[in-house]
Structure 1
């Protein structure tokens, strides 16, 4: 670089730095009066209403004709109106689906129900061809001729139903378990469980043959499956354990004068689980043998995958989430071998594992994080040998479908494009051999894709938090764009005066990992003022949570309009990055990525000098409720005020399946050490707790026990218990109280006295 260029660059940098210092020296904290706050509430309410009356159309859902030649879709319009558009794929013609005014008028005549042309309502709508429609309104079917808009009752109400948002192969939840079928594959026999034992019944003669004799009401057989030839039954001898109950009290049931007690089953960490020991019953010899494997004591028995009539495989996740296996069983001997045996020192996130069995080739498609990133593997079902299909420092997010004939996997992933946000979802296809990778969605942005019924075409909608969505029709084989269906813009939103969210990236605690988040600012921000920062936190490790699609209106923006800079961040310990990034949460939920969040906000405040890094608030719901309280307990030097709604404040009180996944099993001392309740005496700053008395997700006593501990520690705090409310942030009332709380404690201002306003009659 030339010396003159260096001097020029230094001069510009010095000027910018001096300007920033000068600006910082002139800035004073935003200190609104009571009148200012009333006006801010009014402005925020008007802006929020205006923004929510402008549609984003982030999600265009096509309704396809059966032959895939055309589709129609509903497009949202301003002021809660909508219209319908018809697209003929072959000709490329895109037009209004029908004359909405004529259809509304004629439909109103035949149905007797008021219809608005701008808000036509149908339970069902289907184009039989370009000029004829079947629709269901007010539970009645009609046939509409779009040439003259004649409407008659529909004689044939059969319509083609296709959900483009549903993947071809739906990923099962491992909590679903196997499905017991009583009747044999040939229909000649059936199984009945009586007195805890298996009874074989000949359907024709009704002759009965006991298959087991050692079952009982206390330890019965159950969960059985047939082999394909119906000559073998695999059943499980169970050791049942009672699921303990949780309770809550409905205090304000209309028409009563007493509270109503509600109870339900709710397994918590450390509780005993029913176990299932597999047995094989040979119906030809009427003999049985115990499968040489330990009992399944976590999840219900999983479905069996028969390679032939002699061998089957099934999946087994060990309690504690540190081992996952696909086990093959020899039905002649009861011996087993592990086709897949994955172990880890931290956790295996079973809900993210995808398995697809290919019996014709004795192969298994499987996802694993064994190399540090979630990727696809092809497993030899005989030897267990694994071949990596996808590789790189990016994440396979989900599987859409598998083409067995072409030996291709269709999947969505994030992080492959190094120049963009690593959380943006893109869609791909790739061969089983790891070759021929095709990006179906190359445009920068977060993508949402759906296919036509024959998968010849797909609809791709993509956007960013501050870039409006674009929707395109593309050809699947070539990924070529046929036409642009919709193209949103930001101008209409910007006319309201709103500031669209800004994306900010800073380094995490290791000094090298990028931490991503968004920033929402007041639309009327004064350049000479500084504003408190409020973090919207949810550090649950099951996913990532910072929004990636177009977001002009949100609670964060509504809160920002009152005089705050509101942020949301995905710190370490959340999902959809590397295994190492995710592993931070292991036995460590109290960490909540706080080190990364604090560094991020400090870096953000350097870029945005209007951010007051000395006034930090935080709010969250559920796991976010735990996190926001934890912010004041474990990082009081940074966070000053917190609102925590329906928090799981102790991971021993919350649901078993979620907490053991991250905190592990058995329940150890680390559960106690990281509990908000155990650490309640450490509280500094201002805390506001919100809980719904009818919460069936996180037991309400989680919040009440925290309140009890705070009282015993002689700590000041606010608490709001809402009668009849379930798992929630408090609803409209709770959100208003949350805003008031932050105004009082971060802006040191008075909030509107709602009690001084007379109710309208």
Structure 2
């Protein structure tokens, strides 16, 4: 149900309103809330994840909920017969043996996988590592990446050798590698090494991991690298489990403004040994160059260029014979080009035509670009809606399949739907009619697709469709949450209100206590994540955490049950709407969409007398931790209590990649403007900061610098440092129950004004 401001609702609720108070939560209430996820997580049936096709396109597989946990199921795309995707018990035993830990067959630690080895194995990610497990011969092993690590993609870790395995030319005539910082080749069957360069040094070396042969084996492009600053973040592991004394940890961690690796493309003609350093006029001051990619005919090679500061991106194409470069596509922005939103496809692999995603008209759309001139040949999509992802391109039929949101009037503008369109912008065809958020996976030949869709109030439905006309072939699964609802679960309410400008719709969700009484008054807690790189209010069903970035609905319910209304909102400055909507965050991270959020709160309070807008708290992690602190620093008249996890409280202390994307380069006053350290003296209200001692995502010193500034300003606050804890402490790993109790108790005591059960009492 979508709630909007309504005089009728207001009248009804006013009749029911009273000053009735809340009973203070006792120890049993705390334990119920802390254990809610465990109590409810196995109560749904046939809630399915997106499908993955076998390489031959004859079958597809997915995870779904079953009694006691999860199962992986495979469907024959022709007969529709279902069977187990693999033996989960054997895989659990094999994976557990490889990881030296117990693995539960009904709770395998991954939700999606890809097929490998012709369907004889699967691969999946666990943390930072990818794994391969055989499902014919059951054996699991970590996939070893021999490449040299790079700090956030821009500074090579020189303490680790590069992968210098000889690279064989396509015609098998030559091998190429780096010897003594220079590029050399060796003819097949010959022991003699032929140097192609002699100017490489330890401070200006040829990187073997960037070496790329042309398809005709005549040329090589490779990058010559001047190393950037090797900044190291040091962390003390105070309480290791395997020894008494602490350990010192070191991490390569470039920060905003640091000198980064400078890469210069160099082209070699193998037969003549001619060396051509590519003129960098088209790619000055690069933040990042992609690896070279040769066109199919070998006549040119291209790479992507992101200018430092993110104001320009470009495809640079280089003629293989002359070494002359030209701009195949250029994208400029007055604010930033959203790096994660970039998409390109070279039609036919030749580079004459390029499908390119651009926000140049204020919305992310697709264009057909002449790769020789860089000029737009024609627009493919247009309108006040956004292309979210390109799923497939058929160069022969000259058709594109893509997902988009915001196209359907009267619908949640974040719902993704899938469409097909011609390169000429004609024949736009909708493939997913259901009013929901859709995740579509096509068979390898594109003839079929599995559409998995849901809403926060609609368990997933998974359907097999024919691509040619979108016709339904069969319903594969239909989620059932009857037992979950019987246990007391209620989906979040969707609420929409106008933002700071009085025109823009701001969307959020509301979670109420299971014993909600509209006659009572409830303090409010906002779950915030306002990173500009995505939107975070859940749109899909899975209430235990299907969407990255935001807290789980069940986590919100657990807090609501202690006597709160808990909400989550996407304000301006977040993604997946217009360019102007997201641009609010540019050089303005302290904003976090707060004027929109506060307007949303006030609109809901105007319709709901139980919504106590005089008592609003807030919590969040990472960028959400920064926003939580800033709520108390810059909007202390509205937000009274905050719990901030692992915050990047000063963007000069955080990773280079995320912060230069939104605040630009060079480091300027906008970094200080959002700093919780510089503005710590403005703190009002109650603050609890929680940080993992071993946070490898955000330098934990950022939290301690806020603490130092608060102490110097004479401010009271609470601080919890979790020994050994990582960035996700209290959310997906670590002592979850302990930090959850500390968060819940902090809100009960300081926002609800109620006593908290004594955890140290003898029982």
- Does TM-score exceed 0.5, indicating one fold? yes
- Whether the aligned pair in 2 keeps the contact of 1:622 and 1:647 (CA below 8 Å) is yes
Match of 2:212 among 217, 220, 225: 225
**CA distance in 2 between partners of 1:687 and 1:529 (Å):** 26
- Whether the aligned pair in 2 keeps the contact of 1:395 and 1:415 (CA below 8 Å) is yes
What are the within-5 Å matches in structure 2 for residues 408-447 of structure 1? Answer: 408-447=399-438
Bigger CA drift: 507-516 or 636-645?
507-516
Instruction: Please tell me whether residue 389 in structure 1 is matched to residue 380 in structure 2.
Output: yes
**CA distance in 1 between partners of 2:32 and 2:346 (Å):** 57
**CA distance in 2 between partners of 1:86 and 1:288 (Å):** 53
**CA distance in 2 between partners of 1:399 and 1:211 (Å):** 40
SS of residue in 2 equivalent to 1:351: helix
Superposition deviation, residue 211 in structure 1 = 2.6
> 1:166 maps to which residue?
none
Instruction: Please tell me whether residue 53 in structure 1 is matched to residue 42 in structure 2.
Output: yes
Match of 2:261 among 245, 252, 274: 274
After superposition, the Cα gap between the structure-2 partners of 1:725 and 1:88, relative to the gap in structure 1 and judged at 3 Å, is: closer
Q: TM-score, normalised by structure 1?
A: 0.83
**CA distance in 2 between partners of 1:574 and 1:434 (Å):** 28
- Whether the aligned pair in 2 keeps the contact of 1:47 and 1:498 (CA below 8 Å) is no
Bigger CA drift: 675-684 or 295-304?
295-304
What are the within-5 Å matches in structure 2 for residues 173-572 of structure 1? Answer: 182-222=167-207, 223-294=210-281, 297-306=286-295, 308-358=297-347, 359-360=349-350, 362-386=352-376, 387-552=378-543, 554-572=554-572
SS of residue in 2 equivalent to 1:299: strand
Superposition deviation, residue 307 in structure 1 = 6.3
> 1:687 maps to which residue?
687
> 1:736 maps to which residue?
741
**CA distance in 2 between partners of 1:365 and 1:174 (Å):** 25
**CA distance in 1 between partners of 2:26 and 2:64 (Å):** 37
- Whether the aligned pair in 1 keeps the contact of 2:155 and 2:228 (CA below 8 Å) is no
Superposition deviation, residue 63 in structure 1 = 6.8
After superposition, the Cα gap between the structure-2 partners of 1:450 and 1:14, relative to the gap in structure 1 and judged at 3 Å, is: closer
**CA distance in 2 between partners of 1:471 and 1:51 (Å):** 22
Question: What is the aligned length?
Answer: 689
> 1:144 maps to which residue?
none
After superposition, the Cα gap between the structure-2 partners of 1:463 and 1:14, relative to the gap in structure 1 and judged at 3 Å, is: closer
**CA distance in 1 between partners of 2:8 and 2:309 (Å):** 57
- Whether the aligned pair in 1 keeps the contact of 2:353 and 2:369 (CA below 8 Å) is yes
Superposition deviation, residue 372 in structure 1 = 0.8
- Look at both structures and tell me which one has the larger radius of gyration over its CA atoms: 1
Q: TM-score, normalised by structure 2?
A: 0.83
After superposition, the Cα gap between the structure-2 partners of 1:543 and 1:123, relative to the gap in structure 1 and judged at 3 Å, is: closer
Bigger CA drift: 80-89 or 520-529?
80-89
After superposition, the Cα gap between the structure-2 partners of 1:353 and 1:754, relative to the gap in structure 1 and judged at 3 Å, is: same
After superposition, the Cα gap between the structure-2 partners of 1:343 and 1:64, relative to the gap in structure 1 and judged at 3 Å, is: closer
**CA distance in 1 between partners of 2:332 and 2:121 (Å):** 54
After superposition, the Cα gap between the structure-2 partners of 1:90 and 1:262, relative to the gap in structure 1 and judged at 3 Å, is: closer
**CA distance in 1 between partners of 2:669 and 2:464 (Å):** 55
What are the within-5 Å matches in structure 2 for residues 13-32 of structure 1? Answer: 19-24=12-17, 26-28=18-20, 30-32=21-23
- Whether the aligned pair in 2 keeps the contact of 1:277 and 1:296 (CA below 8 Å) is no
**CA distance in 1 between partners of 2:703 and 2:355 (Å):** 43
**CA distance in 2 between partners of 1:429 and 1:549 (Å):** 23
> 1:141 maps to which residue?
none
- Whether the aligned pair in 2 keeps the contact of 1:501 and 1:551 (CA below 8 Å) is no
SS of residue in 2 equivalent to 1:595: helix
**CA distance in 2 between partners of 1:71 and 1:538 (Å):** 34
After superposition, the Cα gap between the structure-2 partners of 1:443 and 1:206, relative to the gap in structure 1 and judged at 3 Å, is: same
> 1:9 maps to which residue?
none
**CA distance in 2 between partners of 1:458 and 1:372 (Å):** 31
- Whether the aligned pair in 2 keeps the contact of 1:456 and 1:475 (CA below 8 Å) is yes
SS of residue in 1 equivalent to 2:760: helix
- Whether the aligned pair in 2 keeps the contact of 1:619 and 1:628 (CA below 8 Å) is yes
> 1:648 maps to which residue?
648
> 1:4 maps to which residue?
none
**CA distance in 1 between partners of 2:396 and 2:461 (Å):** 33
SS of residue in 2 equivalent to 1:657: helix
Superposition deviation, residue 313 in structure 1 = 2.3
**CA distance in 1 between partners of 2:53 and 2:290 (Å):** 38
SS of residue in 1 equivalent to 2:367: strand
